[in-house]
Amino acid sequence: MRCLTAFGERIAARDPDRQTAEIHIRAALINRFNALGIADVVRVA
């Protein structure tokens, strides 16, 4: 949970369903940033 708070101090939603959605969105963003940061290895020769 520590890395999720990097995108915002707190969860803004008060409704539990919206809190869950907000956490899912933050996790998707983190996963996307990690995917962008991983290099593609191409074998030459």
pLDDT in tens, 20-44: 998 899 889 889 988 888 888 888 9
**Gyration radius of the chain over CA positions:** 15
Q: Is residue 26 domain-resident?
A: yes
Provide the number of structural domains found in the chain. 1
- Is residue 24 one of the residues assigned to a domain? yes
Cα(45)–Cα(31) distance, integer angstroms? 32
Q: Kindly state whether residue 43 falls inside one of the protein's structural domains.
A: no
Answer yes or no: is pLDDT of 5 > 60: no
State which residues form the domain around 17.
Answer: 4-37
Q: Is 31 a member of any domain?
A: yes
pLDDT of residue 11: 76
| Spatial CB neighbours of 19, under 8 Å, sequence gap ≥ 6 | 11, 13
Give me the pLDDT at residue 6, please.
Answer: 56
